[in-house]
Amino acid sequence: MNTVDNQKEDFVKQALKTAYVEDPGDSFVPNVMGKVFELASEKNKLPVAEPIVSKRGWFLAAFFVISVFSFSFYFNSNTFSFSIFYDYFEKISFPHLSIPVSGIFLIGLLAFVFYFIIQILFITRRINT
């Protein structure tokens, strides 16, 4: 480094010593401590135990069970028949597979769709919380 470089360095060093550290004001420390105490009190709160299945969940489950039993008690083959489905779908065909459409198959499919929708609702709620 040449002489002028050194002189410049010294000049800037001296100049910087006269500049000052900024002051955020007298209220800064009390404001920060206020927020710190709030944080500390939130940390200390005991977690409230929540049930795994909520009241709403129980109502839905009860509704579903009651519906299934009601369906089996009050509907029989004379009042309800799956023949309307058979009119449209005798079987579900794939290139190398053919699944015959039966009452059991349709009940299983309906239950799966219902279960799937319920799961989506639960997962969405979980993600949102």
How far apart CA 43 and CA 25 sit, in angstroms, is: 29
Pick one of 29, 110, 120, 123: the residue that binds another protein (CB under 8 A): 29
Angle, vertex CA 22, rays to CA 16 and CA 23, nearest 5: 150
| C-alpha neighbours within 13 Å on the C-beta side of residue 3 | 0
Q: How far is the CB of 30 from another protein (least distance, A)?
A: 9
Task: Give me the amino acid identity at 127.
Answer: I
The residue range among 25-33, 47-55, 83-91, 109-117 that interacts with another protein, by the rule CB under 8 A, is 25-33
How far apart CA 73 and CA 21 sit, in angstroms, is: 83
The residue range among 35-43, 73-81, 87-95, 105-113 that interacts with another protein, by the rule CB under 8 A, is 35-43
- List interacting residues with another protein (CB under 8 A): 3-4, 7-9, 11-13, 15-25, 28-29, 31-33, 35-37, 39-40
